[in-house]
Structure 1
Amino acid sequence: MAIIFTLFFVLSIASLFIYRNKKLALSIGFGGGAATCLISAWYFLSNMYNTNTFELFGNFLQDPYFTASTLENFFCFIISTIGFFAGIYSIGYVKDSKLNLGAFAAIYNSFILSMLMVMTATDMFAFILLWEIMTLVSGLFIYMNDHEDKNALSATMIYLGFSQIGAFCIVVAFVIMSAASGGSYEFLDFKGLEFSPAMNLTLLVLLFIGFGNKAGVWPLHVWLAVAHPCAPSNASAMMSGIMTKVALFGLIKFSLLLDITTTFAYIVMFCGAASALFGILYAAVDNDYKRTIAYSSVENIGIITTALGVGYYGLATESNFIAIIGFIAAFFHIINHATFKSMLFFASGAVTNATHTRELNILGGLHQKMPYTSYAFMIGSIAICAIPPLNGFMSEWVLYQSFIATAGEAGAMAKLMLVIAMLCIGLAGALAIMTFVKVYSAIFLGKPRDTKIYEHAKEGSLPMLFTTSTLAVFCVILGLFSATVIANLAKVTSTIFGLNLEISNLNIVKTPSVLFVLVALAVIAFIILKIFKANNSKVRLTEPWASGFKWDANMQIASQSFAGDLRKVLKFFYRNKPTVVAKNYFDKVEYSNKPKEIWWIWLYEPVVNWCVKFADKIGIVQNGKSNIYALYILIYLFVCFAAAYYIY
């Protein structure tokens, strides 16, 4: 483990020294990083049930050491695997970029290193320091984009602002736990601490807010839709695919140090269900395909969080079966989300490179120019919509089975929460199908709406195609062989939580036989299609019927019209502000209808506006006079001495 961390650190430094040589930056920075990720993935997978520790050399304040047991190994394996694909993808994605590739490769390696070290940190000081480093590095990802997005700076500041809210809650929880342990910073000393029920719940909520903020749980999710459209697609894939999993890891690890209560389980379950529903509601009406994919991350994080809520309920009620099946559903969907969400961002990056736009309303017909990307995007869309037999369906199948298992033993309040969760996730699944039918058809199907974009579009490079195709295959494999995956996850879960349950008792989560029927029907359909294609009869092609008018590509159903009825029915949530720009009679009318989240309007916009006004008011203290600045220092020192005298 020490060698792996050292390799990432050396690659980060080396990438900065070779910033002038693009080829070396690609091969050493991204190629070397991908190779190290592959080694790392194999290491953590082969040591899944072992505990490995190493101490950081050098003189530090805390003499930090790092430990990886089963929980850490599981999440580090996911990070390393997706990091490998991100490195390979980046070689083809950024080769023609205007960015400084050496700096970008350094950020890539530093980001992966920071995530791995966050999850293996064993004391409060190292964890918070590395957590903040991870946040700053990911903020650089958002700010560094080669399409000169004018919103990049504001998106970065919003992301960093939200991150500090979460970090503050985490630090407060850690400080209280440290004080209760006699002032120790070691996480091992946080175990078995006794708190009053109110303080215990307060700490759990603080941890949920802190880590849920970074994960993108409602209503702390608004930064995702702002940050991801600005970030490069390889960065978005890592931030959504694996950085959110670091947050979920933190929630799981540190909540287990406290007494899990049913109240906390209900809170987690409710916020997860709300995330799933509201995330896909905003994804369904957005016209920016990267923002749509970002909103769908909120939905999937909500599904994972709901499953965690079921697992927490099992721990609170001392029901081993409910706990294990809930956490299996969460861990399975963590793997699946990392797979198909990273692949969708990779595929969207190929589209952005080919078209230089993210607007759905001006795309179309790209399947003819980018067939392999189209097929990969289609498989990812099927997986994320939880359509059998792909992996997204299987993890949600386990989640629904956990609902059923819990309902048989739950009380009235728990049954109410389960009904709410099932309704929200069921409705989210239907909206997800609508959303990705819209996205896929607007990008790849129909006729091109902009002929210039269509003419210049071309398939992605070989590293990009390798990445998207391989992850698409993984979506299929994880679905078809889900029974094997579930059996291994049951072992992982039992080891992490110390629960004894025979794997043979998990009959409820076996792969449903209907999947094999569906696969057989799909194969038969392709065979029939092949037979008809073997017929050499000519097919007459013509333009669609347009009620007697000359057909035009703009007559196709666009993204806005596709979700128009949904906007009207749920206008309370969308707060649409349609704008129409008509310069003169002969110019094309420009119409846009961008929804604005009510959570942003209600919760965050007033705070941001107040901060701006407050900053304007206190700006007077920056008058440029050194004597005044010296006075500020004296006043500050006086306040510090007075506070110290009062406290001690």
Structure 2
Amino acid sequence: MNYSDLINGALWAFSGSALIAALLAFHKSLSAVVAGLGGALGSALATLAGALALTHGDSALRFTVAALHFQAQLSALNAVWLLTLGLPGLFISLFAIPLHRHRPLKANGWLMNLLLAAALMAVVSANLGILVLMTEIMALCAMFLTGCAQSGKLWFALGRFGTLLLVAACALLWKQYGTLDITLMSQMMVDQPLSLPIWVAGVIGFGLLAGIIPLHGWVPSAHAQASGPAAALFSAVVLKVGVYGLLTFSLLNVLPLWCGVVVALLGAITAFVGGLYALMEHNINRLLAYHSLENIGIILLGLGVGLIGISVQAPLLVALGLTGGLYHLFNHSLFKTTLFLGAGAVWFSTGQHDIEKLGGLGKRMPLISVAMLVGLMAMAALPPLNGFAGEWVIYQSFFHLGNQPQFIARLLGPLLAVGLAITGALAVMCMAKVYGVTFLGAPRTPAAQNACCVPLMMKLSVAVLALCCVAGGVGAPWLLPLLSHAVPLPLATPGTEVSQPMITLLLIATLLLPLAMMALFKGDRLENRTRGSAWVCGYQHEPEMVITAHGFAHPLKAAFAPVLALRKRLNPVALFPGWHGERTGQVFRRMAFIELAVLLVVVISQGA
């Protein structure tokens, strides 16, 4: 079976199961099973296609999508995104089956599969116009997955602005080059360079989808309103397609140096502000959404350094920047899916998203607790997990950026390294806050005290994803060289060899660190140890007598009060008095439904 068969099979699995599940929406249990199995099959085929394309390292393969008759291409760069959406999509689909069957949720599995189909077509499209069309369908599906609440309205409004910019950019490209074929435009731009206003329009349009700060308004509220699987899709798929579009625009031509600097600075701002805002949140879905923004910023840091390397013709800088950014992009999809699905399991068991109302879940949900700890450690970039591996390569790119002859590069390298270090410290604090308040201590509410059992499919999905996080870190010496096929310049140039033995020894030694700490602090156990209530000055111990999430974050909240106040002062919604009205939501819902129907008719008619 070749690449085109796998891609076509994945599209048929996604779209076919979406259609059947939508027709069976009246029978929620059966609809959930059909959507889950179809989504899992399509995701598995997409993952296999991406793995084969990346390991073989072939040049871009062009083929026709049989059902829709449009040109697609599969290269090593596309393969990274196929793995990014395919592997998490597999476990998200399986996790959603028991969730949609046993909880009072709408039968929206068909929307999740339609979103995955649109995302798949977007990342393999050989035509920029098709890419924009598919991202629009994907965004509309995601809006409906939020329930079209306040977050859906904001997403619809911002999305339409971004779409208008992308359509305008495509129109200008067509006028200048007479085609929207990505390969042909890239060849023609050797003689006719890309106009910078077009690049800016593309960055803003796809930046809205990727959640780049200050274009991130829809991200936290959309994740908070969605179910666990839907929120995982937003983070692992929707945001990543936005990054793909931004990188596609940026690789069409050799851009000036300042373009890479702008991307890197946007990444630094997004990473720091996202990490800071995450620490202030107590709703676990909103907290993880802000951390998704932080990681999008880290990805953009690597990609920005890679673009700077292309501008100054520095192969080592290109290799380190793009490789680190792409590897972190893939790793983020794994550990953030682990966390969102783990949060979904906690909600299934307790009915709570507010971590202040939880506590003591480690004893009641041990497997979910361990998996969440692994995901949080990966999010905090602690070795030997996958979050550490990608950021380590990005740090190396900063060091080499500081050695470049250009003044701006020498200035930017150390500043970006310091900024990423501060962001990492915020992530470690957030990890301690989430795990300590949620899983340790005593239950704070009856909901946490009476946490029910989670279905086996949910447990296995989260546990296997946690194992993938470990494998992505320990296996980094062997996985990182595979990404050289996705980098415009070869990774194996002089001075860019990856020291596999050194990294392997480091990761193995790190695995022994917890055992050494246990041996150090365990000490000699007393044969007769008495257990009783803690002495609290004559008062009986209460679950509330522990540090809260609010108290944990209060020192930083006071220190960064001016930065945190920007969320209220720079709120565009305040400019529209009727925004919060119920009628506004109904109008937007109908407009979104009409637009989605029209776009689907256009796509289907293209294949007829």
Q: Contact 2:368–2:462 at 8 Å: present in 1 too?
A: yes
Match for 1:34: what amino acid?
A: A
* Distance in 2, Cα, partners of 1:194 & 1:612: 46
Equivalent in 34, 37, 48 of residue 31 of structure 1: 37
Residue 118 of structure 1: aligned partner: 122
Change over 3 Å in CA distance of 1:136–1:251 after alignment to 2: same
Match for 1:517: what amino acid?
A: A
> What secondary structure is seen at the aligned counterpart in 2 of 1:65?
strand
Residue 406 of structure 2: aligned partner: 411
Deviation at 1:475, TM superposition (A): 1.1
Residue 542 of structure 2: aligned partner: 552
Q: Contact 2:80–2:326 at 8 Å: present in 1 too?
A: no
1:464 and 2:458 equivalent? Answer: yes
Residue 285 of structure 1: aligned partner: 280
> What secondary structure is seen at the aligned counterpart in 2 of 1:544?
coil
Residue 601 of structure 1: aligned partner: 569
Q: Contact 2:129–2:170 at 8 Å: present in 1 too?
A: no
1:519 and 2:487 equivalent? Answer: no
* Distance in 1, Cα, partners of 2:286 & 2:580: 26
Change over 3 Å in CA distance of 1:488–1:186 after alignment to 2: closer
Deviation at 1:296, TM superposition (A): 0.6
* Distance in 2, Cα, partners of 1:359 & 1:612: 24
Match for 2:461: what amino acid?
A: T
Change over 3 Å in CA distance of 1:134–1:277 after alignment to 2: same
Residue 635 of structure 1: aligned partner: none
Match for 1:83: what amino acid?
A: G
Change over 3 Å in CA distance of 1:174–1:288 after alignment to 2: same
Match for 2:95: what amino acid?
A: Y
* Distance in 2, Cα, partners of 1:415 & 1:190: 33
Deviation at 1:416, TM superposition (A): 2.0
Q: Contact 2:477–2:504 at 8 Å: present in 1 too?
A: no
Q: Contact 2:481–2:498 at 8 Å: present in 1 too?
A: no
Equivalent in 86, 92, 95 of residue 89 of structure 1: 95
CA deviations over 1:481-510 (Å, ceiling 9, x no partner): 2111111112332xxx15474488324686
CA deviations over 1:221-264 (Å, ceiling 9, x no partner): 12111110100110111110122111111111221112322100
Residue 350 of structure 1: aligned partner: 345
* Distance in 2, Cα, partners of 1:76 & 1:346: 20
Residue 600 of structure 2: aligned partner: none
Deviation at 1:198, TM superposition (A): 10
| Higher RCO by CA contacts (8 Å cutoff, separation 6 or greater) | 2
Deviation at 1:6, TM superposition (A): 1.8
Deviation at 1:539, TM superposition (A): 3.8
* Distance in 1, Cα, partners of 2:578 & 2:569: 13
Residue 156 of structure 2: aligned partner: 160
Q: Contact 1:204–1:264 at 8 Å: present in 2 too?
A: no
> What secondary structure is seen at the aligned counterpart in 2 of 1:556?
coil
Equivalent in 43, 52, 61 of residue 49 of structure 2: 43
CA deviations over 1:588-618 (Å, ceiling 9, x no partner): xxxxxxxxxx1553262454459899x99xx
Change over 3 Å in CA distance of 1:71–1:37 after alignment to 2: same
Pairing of 1:384-423 with structure 2 (within 5 A)? 384-423=379-418
Change over 3 Å in CA distance of 1:347–1:538 after alignment to 2: farther
1:318 and 2:313 equivalent? Answer: yes
Deviation at 1:315, TM superposition (A): 0.3
* Distance in 1, Cα, partners of 2:53 & 2:341: 29
Match for 2:182: what amino acid?
A: F
Q: Contact 1:371–1:459 at 8 Å: present in 2 too?
A: no
Normalising by structure 2, we get a TM-score of 0.88
CA deviations over 1:129-154 (Å, ceiling 9, x no partner): 222111111111111xxxxxxxx511
Q: Which moved more, 1:545-554 or 1:336-345?
A: 545-554
Q: Contact 1:283–1:435 at 8 Å: present in 2 too?
A: yes
1:235 and 2:233 equivalent? Answer: no
> What secondary structure is seen at the aligned counterpart in 1 of 2:72?
strand
Residue 475 of structure 1: aligned partner: 469
Equivalent in 414, 423, 426 of residue 428 of structure 1: 423
Change over 3 Å in CA distance of 1:546–1:337 after alignment to 2: same
Q: Contact 1:115–1:134 at 8 Å: present in 2 too?
A: yes
Deviation at 1:77, TM superposition (A): 2.2
Change over 3 Å in CA distance of 1:505–1:563 after alignment to 2: closer
Q: Which moved more, 1:477-486 or 1:252-261?
A: 252-261
Change over 3 Å in CA distance of 1:568–1:181 after alignment to 2: same
Match for 1:64: what amino acid?
A: F
**Identical columns (%):** 25
Residue 72 of structure 1: aligned partner: 78
Deviation at 1:381, TM superposition (A): 0.8
Match for 1:130: what amino acid?
A: M
Deviation at 1:287, TM superposition (A): 1.4
Change over 3 Å in CA distance of 1:504–1:263 after alignment to 2: closer
Deviation at 1:571, TM superposition (A): 1.4
Match for 1:325: what amino acid?
A: L
Residue 105 of structure 1: aligned partner: 109
Match for 1:115: what amino acid?
A: A
Residue 488 of structure 1: aligned partner: 482
Match for 2:244: what amino acid?
A: F
Residue 274 of structure 1: aligned partner: 269
Residue 602 of structure 2: aligned partner: none
Change over 3 Å in CA distance of 1:64–1:481 after alignment to 2: closer
Match for 1:434: what amino acid?
A: M
Q: Contact 2:256–2:311 at 8 Å: present in 1 too?
A: yes
CA-atom RMSD, angstroms?
A: 2.7
Residue 506 of structure 1: aligned partner: 497
Task: Find the structure with the greater CA-based Rg.
Answer: 1
Deviation at 1:7, TM superposition (A): 2.3
Q: Contact 1:305–1:330 at 8 Å: present in 2 too?
A: yes
* Distance in 2, Cα, partners of 1:423 & 1:253: 28
Deviation at 1:169, TM superposition (A): 2.1
CA deviations over 1:40-87 (Å, ceiling 9, x no partner): 2112311333444443568x8xx6322222222221122111110111
Q: Contact 1:200–1:258 at 8 Å: present in 2 too?
A: no
Deviation at 1:375, TM superposition (A): 0.7
Q: Contact 1:37–1:84 at 8 Å: present in 2 too?
A: yes
CA deviations over 1:432-470 (Å, ceiling 9, x no partner): 1111211111111111111x2133202421111111111
* Distance in 1, Cα, partners of 2:496 & 2:184: 35
* Distance in 2, Cα, partners of 1:108 & 1:503: 45
> What secondary structure is seen at the aligned counterpart in 1 of 2:103?
coil
Normalising by structure 1, we get a TM-score of 0.83
* Distance in 1, Cα, partners of 2:579 & 2:360: 46
